[in-house]
A = this chain, B = another copy of it.
Amino acid sequence: MRATCIVGVGMTRFGRFPERSLADLAAEAARGALADAGAAPALAQAIVFANATQGALEGQHGIRGQAALDGCGFGAAPVINVENACASATTALHLAHVLVGSGAYDCVLAAGAEKMVMPDPAKSMAAFEGSWDLSRRDATIAGLLAMGAGVRVPPGAEAEGPHSVFMDVYAAFCRHHMALFGTTQRQMAAVSAKNHQHSVENPRAQYRRAFTVEEVMAARPIVWPLTLPMCSPISDGAAAALVSTPEVAERLGQSGRAARIRASVLMSGDHRDPDRLEDHVARKAARRAWDAAGLGPEDVDVVECHDATAFGEILQSEMLGFFGLGEGGPAAERGDTRLGGRIPFNPSGGLESKGHPIGATGLGQVFEIVAQLRGEAGPRQIGDARIGLIENGGGLRGVEEAAVAITILEGAGR
């Protein structure tokens, strides 16, 4: 397969924009990626479009990308509509990478967009989740929570408000991790406080307010041990990346800004045993990515990972090989993963604070890493970051993510 690189990125601010449509958001991100690359729409020979909820929330199925990008001038370029729950956007990126790498296409736009804040509350994400098969849902959650049964839940900490079922799932995995390794709620609060602090400097983040560890601990409980600032919010937003070859990057005058895709690995979890963390799908995918890139964790300067909750970041920091099993929490508490630390995680603010518009999330992570590798990340710039890693996961299959995508990018050097 020939070499590929990202020649342009675009991204809306993530947030709650009741007045904006999915098409409006998608077009801003797509046009942004083209403008960033100095490319005309006709350069994109194909579009891979990621979205997770428009079918459920707005009744637009089938040809979501054609509908969302109708006014962008892509003409007869094929549109491939993909979904993979919260990993939809990096699934799109993976396809763009392989489509270009194959030689069948010279330039492909990966675009992801999500519109979760609906004018009509009856058509909201909460209503959507509420429509699920409750007996099956509750059995799944009960089964998962049983994993962490050895962990003492403080009295009163279960006084929870309405929340996404995924917060139940994350809380279950989190309690299991606490039972296995002694991970603490304070360590999770440290992750959350760090990410909220990071996003103060990110103009595209949904939230830009700093929290102390104590504030995170004292915030409204969601499902113990998760409190509100440890959980990613409901968000609108879009992000896009234009994938091409080093030759096209040079023709566009972007050789100095293009980010080479050193590895792009997609896998599907299938384990039923929560104790088999050694063989967790993210661990397997990471090993494959390191092999493909010829690199290891020690070579990486910056990571964006899937912190749908603060626990997710701790787990992934271990699965990706940056820390040993059970060492992710202490490392976060020590500050190893903050800006200026040994290996900064989520300088953008992560899903917790930058926001989590499902189908756009992975490409939002890519936007941040590309900015870092170019030295364009402003006050949150990480020195002369050269290698960045993106981990984006989605869905639930057995006790793992149904889809995990790991991408390793290399900057052009400065």
- List residues of A whose CB falls within 8 A of some B CB: 1, 46, 52-53, 55-56, 59, 61-64, 66-67, 70, 74-85, 88, 91, 94-95, 98-99, 101-104, 131-133, 266-270, 281, 284, 394-395, 397, 402-403
Contact between A79 and B84 (Cβ–Cβ < 8 Å)?
yes
User: In the complex, A94→B46 CA distance in Å?
Assistant: 12
CA–CA, A269 and B76, complex, Å: 5
Evaluate contact between B66 and A61: CB separation under 8 angstroms.
no
Q: Within 8 Å CB of A70, what residues of B?
A: 270, 397
**Quick check: A63 and B403 within 8 Å, CB to CB?**
yes
A403 engages B98 (CB within 8 Å): no
Among residues of B, the one whose C-beta sits closest to the C-beta of A55 is: B55
Distance in Å: Cβ of A109 to nearest Cβ of chain B: 13
Most buried by B among A81, A284, A394, A397: A81
Cβ contacts A to B, 24 pairs, < 8 Å:
A52-B61, A59-B131, A62-B395, A62-B402, A63-B83, A63-B85, A63-B397, A66-B402, A67-B397, A74-B270, A76-B269, A78-B266, A78-B267, A78-B268, A79-B268, A79-B402, A79-B403, A80-B95, A81-B83, A81-B91, A95-B95, A98-B99, A98-B102, A102-B104
Q: Are A403 and B66 in contact (CB under 8 A)?
A: yes
Cα separation A122 to B50 with both chains bound (whole Å): 29
Q: Contact: B270 with A75, CB < 8 Å?
A: yes
Query: Is the CB–CB distance between B79 and A82 below 8 Å?
Result: no
Interchain CA distance A48-B88 in the complex, whole Å: 13
Known: A104-B98, A268-B78, A403-B79. A55 touches B63 (CB 8 A): no
When chains A and B are docked, how far (Å) is the Cα of A81 from the Cα of B268? 12
Q: Please state if A62 and B83 are interface contacts (CB–CB under 8 Å).
A: yes
- Flag if A62 contacts B80 (CB, 8 Å): no
Closest 10 CB pairs of A and B: A102-B102, A62-B85, A78-B266, A63-B395, A55-B55, A63-B402, A66-B402, A1-B103, A1-B102, A76-B267
> Nearest CB to that of A281 among chain B residues?
B76
A55 touches B61 (CB 8 A): yes
Q: A55-B55, A101-B104, A397-B70 are in contact. Are A63 and B76 (CB under 8 A)?
A: no
Residues of B within 8 A of A394 (CB): 62-63
Question: Which residue on chain B has the smallest CB distance to residue A285?
Answer: B76
A62: nearest chain-B partner, CB-CB: B85
CA distance A265 to B269 in the complex (A): 32
- Pick the residue among B77, B80, B94 that contacts A84 (CB under 8 A): B80
Complex Cα–Cα for A72 and B3 (A): 34
Kindly state the separation between the CA atoms of A79 and B91 in the bound complex, as whole angstroms: 9
Bound complex: CA of A245 vs CA of B67, how far in Å? 35
Q: Chain B residues near A94 (CB, 8 Å)?
A: 78, 80
> Within the complex, which residue of B78, B79, B84 is in contact with A63, where a contact is CB–CB below 8 Å?
B84
What is the CA–CA distance of A204 and B220 in the complex, to the nearest angstrom? 57
In the bound complex, residues from chain B placing their C-beta under 8 Å from that of A132 are 59
Q: Is the CB of B403 within 8 A of A78?
A: yes
CA distance A76 to B281 in the complex (A): 7
C-alpha spacing A268/B78, complex, angstroms: 5
